[in-house]
Structure 1
Amino acid sequence: MIEKREFKDLAHVDHEWLQARHHFSFGKYWDPSRMGFGPIRVWNDDEIQPKTGFPMHGHQDMEIITYVREGAITHRDNMGNEGRTEAGDVQVMSAGTGVMHSEYNLEDEQTRLFQIWIEPRAAGGAPRWDAKAFPKSDDRADQLEILASGFDEDIAGGALMIGADARLYGASLTKGTAITHEIAEDAHVYLVGSAGQVRVNGELVDTRDSLAIRDVASLQIEAVDDAEFVFVEAWETQNR
């Protein structure tokens, strides 16, 4: 099963300082038929105006990943963490037993990002935050990279740690490049284009379009032009 959802069909909530598009039910947008995809609970496509952002607020029992597409976001929390995450880089937060945090665009330009929530493999645990600037070099081009993961072997290889049975992949492909990814058994895969166009198993994915993928053995991904995309591969905990 491959279900495509175009960017123009996403729910749009206008907060003036924030233009939010929701892939799944979130906040003011409620659709009982779109409550998530497997353990992937939230995928928000946010545009945050300069010098604005999300004031201090709380979360519990959720793995929250932020992938910055353009601009930068500055994080602060009640654990004493503070960090600035730029375009192409990633921050992660395990809410655990509870955390308070803020996310602000302190830049002079608009920030665009994907915020992704994944259900943890277990409730509770100590909250934590981390971020990583992934190298923007030729070594990163034309291949999949594991940006965040709940598995020790990936974390040892440089991925950010999350407390979920999931991996976040990202890739920047030059026009005409094709790659293949074998999907693990029972996985839910949710792929969103970040820039350019890719063709995935014959489906054209434009910037900010998405594919929900289930019961497919592999992905054949070709860059129609210079392109960037990310996807989550996640499992229901009882199936791991």
Structure 2
Amino acid sequence: MSAFWGPRLETPEELAGRWIELMERLQAVDPLLAHWYDSDSRNAPIVPYVADKVRVTKMIAAGVVRDDEGKPDPFHGYHVTAYTTAAWRRSPRRLCAELLAGTPSPYLTNSAGLSTDFDTVPDPAIVTYKIFKGAVLALAECFDAAGVRAYPSDLSGFWTKIGGRRKAIDLAWISYIAPRFAAQITPPSSAIVEHQPDGGLLMAATDKTFVTSNPAHVAVSREIEAACAPFNALSFPPGEKAG
């Protein structure tokens, strides 16, 4: 799943506050997300995550994007990752939380995401509607994201472009639109629809685990994507301004 938003200048300390909130939200979603591990400096060993703002700020600052010569380039943001297992080897139960944010550049997109291990079939216990819905809302609300999409990787093979660029919300299992854009969307009756207290809009193709080979799941996903046409028609990142 991927949350995205437009230009926004944020310091490592500001991002640390959001990251700590995200970790707390994810830990509350399910016991499978209760424990996290990260690295407090570049190339350092992976260690148990600690919700200490000074430490997290230092970790994010160390993840500053660097130019071709290896010099820090904070204008292009900061990168940080955390995992649900301490081992580097792939695991069906390992999730990776990732952040690349803090850039005010109008040509770049700030983002935060959660993913299962690449090229590894995930444990069905971790790919549930409860976990993915909770994580989508956590990403959306902790980072004030413009939108979020959660999807199985094989669904991306059906994605299309508009005007030569990728859609902000394409076919997905769960789609989220921020309060500032939600009024433009008329959810399809086939979808699971939740209007959040702050005005955010969550739509899901199914409350079961999404299966791309299931025509019923894909059909509802297509209706949700079609409903998001007004959002996708906006500039990307949609309607955001540097802050």
Task: Give the TM-score normalised by structure 1.
Answer: 0.29
Which structure: greater strand fraction? 1
The structure, 1 or 2, with the larger RCO (C-alpha pairs under 8 Å, 6+ apart) is 2
Which structure: greater helix fraction? 2
For the pair shown, the structure with the greater C-alpha radius of gyration is 2
